[in-house]
Amino acid sequence: MANMTLIEALLMAMDEELARDERVFITGEDVGKRGGVFRATQGLYEKYGATRVIDSPLAELSIVAIGIGAAMAELRPICEIQFADYIHPAFNQIVNEAAKTYYRSDGQWRVPLTIRTPYGGGIGGGLYHSQSVESFFAHVPGLKVVIPSTPHDAKGLLKSAVRDPNPVLFFEPKKGYRAIKGEVPETDYTVPIGPARIAREGRDISVFAYGMMAHYAVIAAEKVAREDGIDAEVVDLRTLLPVDKQAILDSVKKTGKALVVYEDNLTMGYGAEVAAIIADEAFEFLDGPVKRLAGPDVPAMPFSHSMQEFFMVNPDKIAAAIRDLTAY
């Protein structure tokens, strides 16, 4: 066990996968000598060489498409999109190509591709370095969508993504890259894609979140436990697609109250699906309305600190929402 940051855990996962399987390679902008703009691939170029850690041209569509082709040829590409905000040029390649290849070929061609990308705001990135884009992709059967919130899960889930025979979108909470720390085994373990994780057990209310918001939700839950004696359960969804319905239902059946937290804008966001699942299949267990706490419905997160903080969901806002719903 070692205590490390989320980004160190990601680097460790990639290092181990490169060492384990010579079919694994990494490509993306500045992933080589620079080690990535966030340094997620630091040292890998020196260790594995230019054939396996490849600076791509500055062109996201082709970063993904190269990955798709190489994956169809049974290599195991890890493609880095420098910021999730820049994944949009590759949208067609992900949604029309990677996601549909297995289906359209009647199960003949697989696309064992991992696309890593930092997402989310609160880092002074303005409109185009702050976006949360997971709900676009969580709407696409054929893709798997993963968002870790702890270093332990980051390493284990990324290793699962690399080994998965399907295209996996791996969104990394960039605000938590260095802010989130935790214990990470140095062993070769994986965390399965699919199951959610109970990040904090509780009896009064269920908080559903992922990524940075799952981290914040735990902080908020501790705060209301301390200050208000509220016992909140935090469910870290971890895998957004396929969705772990059972974990959602089990938790809400126990507590009777559901708060869904995400930093993306509210309307049509991932939390809408979580709310719909609960309304559909746990209606009679509910002891209050299903609430969503999310970003405002504006085009993107502004740069100015005051507006950024207005946009961002944070532990205090989550704590307030927990109190409100618990009091209902």
Using the rule CB under 8 A, give the single segment among 3-11, 91-99, 208-216, 244-252 that binds another protein. Answer: 91-99
Judged by CB under 8 A, which of 28, 35, 36, 67 binds another protein? 67
Closer residue to another protein, CB minimum distance, 71 or 169: 71
List of residues 6+ apart from 224 with CB closer than 8 A: 230, 232, 319, 322, 323, 326
Phi, psi of 212 (to 5 degrees): -60, -35
We find the least distance from the C-beta atom of residue 63 to another protein, in angstroms, to be 9
DSSP string over 242-298: TT-HHHHHHHHHHHS-EEEEEEEESTTSHHHHHHHHHHHHSGGG-SS--EEEEE-SS
Closer residue to another protein, CB minimum distance, 73 or 298: 73
Q: Are 228 and 175 in contact (CB under 8 A)?
A: no
Query: Which residue is it, tokens 């507006």?
Result: 307
We find the least distance from the C-beta atom of residue 140 to another protein, in angstroms, to be 10
- Report CA-CA distances (Å) from 143 to 76, 172, 239: 16, 16, 11
By three-state DSSP, how is residue 5 classified? strand
> Does 6 sit near another protein (CB under 8 A)?
no
Closer residue to another protein, CB minimum distance, 94 or 282: 94
Using the rule CB under 8 A, give the single segment among 106-114, 146-154, 262-270, 284-292 that binds another protein. Answer: 106-114
Q: Are 147 and 118 in contact (CB under 8 A)?
A: no
We find the least distance from the C-beta atom of residue 158 to another protein, in angstroms, to be 16
Judged by CB under 8 A, which of 43, 124, 141, 296 binds another protein? 141
Using the rule CB under 8 A, give the single segment among 4-12, 39-47, 98-106, 292-300 that binds another protein. Answer: 98-106
How far, in Å, CA of 304 to CA of 102, rounded? 44
We find the least distance from the C-beta atom of residue 60 to another protein, in angstroms, to be 9
List of residues 6+ apart from 41 with CB closer than 8 A: 11, 14, 26, 28, 31, 32, 35, 53, 80
> Does 188 sit near another protein (CB under 8 A)?
no
Judged by CB under 8 A, which of 15, 20, 102, 286 binds another protein? 102
We find the least distance from the C-beta atom of residue 97 to another protein, in angstroms, to be 6
Judged by CB under 8 A, which of 5, 7, 25, 120 binds another protein? 25
DSSP string over 34-55: T--TT-TTTTHHHHH-TTTEEE
Closer residue to another protein, CB minimum distance, 91 or 303: 91
Residue environment code for 237-262, b if the CB has 16+ CB neighbours within 10 A, otherwise e: bbbbbebbbebbbbbbeebebbbbbb
DSSP state of 56: P
Catalytic residue check, 129: yes
Letters for 231-270 (x = contact with another protein by CB under 8 A, - = none) are -----------x----------------------------
Judged by CB under 8 A, which of 39, 88, 163, 253 binds another protein? 163
We find the least distance from the C-beta atom of residue 292 to another protein, in angstroms, to be 28
Q: Are 168 and 114 in contact (CB under 8 A)?
A: yes
The pair of three-digit structure tokens given for residue 20, joined into one six-digit string: 């384990």
State the catalytic residue, choosing from 129, 152, 215, 305. Answer: 129
The pair of three-digit structure tokens given for residue 174, joined into one six-digit string: 């960039």
Using the rule CB under 8 A, give the single segment among 9-17, 57-65, 173-181, 268-276 that binds another protein. Answer: 57-65
Residues making contact with another protein (CB under 8 A)? 22, 25, 51-52, 56-57, 59, 61-62, 65-75, 77, 89, 92-93, 96-97, 100-110, 112, 141-142, 144, 163-166, 242
Catalytic residues: 129
